[in-house]
Amino acid sequence: MASVKLRASARPPAASEFDRDTTAAPAAARSLRLPLLALLIGAAIWLLPRWPGVLEGRDRAFLVDPAYFELESGAEWLEGGVAQSMRDALAELEPTPLRDDAQVALLTRAIGTATGWVKSVDGVQKRYPNRLEVEVTLREPVALVESEQGLVLIDGDAIVVAVAADAAEFLTRHDLPLLHTSRPLRGVVCGGRVRERALEEGLKVALEIEPFRADLARRGFAIEVIDVTPKERSAGTSITDVELYTASGLAIEWGRSQAHAELGALEPTADAKVRGLKRVAARYPELAGIRRVRLQFSEPSVVFDDEPALVAAPHGE
């Protein structure tokens, strides 16, 4: 969670001549009471059509300008390109009078949709004369996806968070897998949702494997690619919708996510599949000669480079 502070440089207006204390006026001035009263009435009549402009001038002194913001707290990766991309997005919003609650509410909603990084706005605090503090929850990207604009970061809800080129600091601290689809995404917009069934299934698998990735990498299964393109084998269509590829090129037939609408209930749990991979790693040191592992059933099977037959992995780790 990051707290974002929006600050404008405007200052509150100085006290006007009408705010000064006039109780100590000399007696001679009181003799001019009637002419002065007529003068004030005339001034009021002159000022009446111009009063909206005066109010507007006072409101400008309390403006919050989203073009000027600073991160009050947050992770280190928020600095650099991520902060700049957020700054650029917020700079498109109009300055807002802090004294106008309705306008502040509109600005708050706009902040929630201005950048793909913001998932929700959780708190707003006014700081007069010209500061608005906004606490937000940031989205957590789970994969990289190919698009016509280049690689983009996407979260588990299929929301495009950011362009990878603007998130270098985040990517240096987070090892995201590449989610490979049939074709690059078109017309992606940061903050927009991608509605593509295969991609959504791949994201569900990314969420399933995320808690196990570090442990699997230590055992030789450094998962780098989640492939959701249509699969075909020599005997016909494959029974897996999702394949994982490790850094060494080993293929893992994951099957489907447990959240799959039609067939998820038939899938082994993610934990059971991971235990199967651990048995394979224990049985075959350094995974020597293994080309493919299948995890769709209760026991994993392996395919070696020099033989087409499937071999069941033995029990035990």
C-alpha closest to that of 228 among 262, 204, 208, 192? 204
What does the pLDDT profile of the chain (317 residues) look like in tens digits? 444 444 433 434 444 433 434 444 444 444 434 443 343 333 344 344 444 444 454 555 688 888 887 777 777 777 778 888 888 898 899 988 888 999 999 999 999 999 999 999 988 888 888 888 888 889 999 999 999 999 999 999 999 999 999 999 999 999 999 999 999 999 999 999 999 999 999 999 999 999 999 999 999 999 999 999 987 654 555 677 899 999 999 999 999 999 988 888 888 999 999 999 999 999 998 898 999 999 977 788 899 987 654 455 555 54
Residues across the chain: 317
| SS3 at position 236 | strand
Partners of residue 290 on adjacent β-strands:
304
pTM of the model: 0.77
Q: Where are the domains of the chain?
A: 2-9+62-138, 141-312
- 279 and 315 in contact (C-beta within 8 Å)? yes
Q: Which residues contact 215 (CB under 8 A, 6 or more apart)?
A: 274
- 311 and 284 in contact (C-beta within 8 Å)? no
pLDDT at 75: 74
pLDDT at 115: 93
pLDDT at 63: 84
| SS3 at position 47 | helix
- 216 and 277 in contact (C-beta within 8 Å)? yes
- 73 and 3 in contact (C-beta within 8 Å)? yes
Other Cβ atoms closer than 10 A to 158:
17
Q: Which runs of E-coded beta strand occur in 81-117?
A: 96-97
Q: Would you call the peptide bond into 268 cis, given omega within 30 degrees of 0 as the criterion?
A: no
Phi, psi values for residue 219, rounded to 5°: -100, 10
pLDDT at 42: 37
Q: Exposed, middle or buried by CB within 10 Å (0-12, 13-18, 19+), for 185?
A: middle
Partners of residue 14 on adjacent β-strands:
none
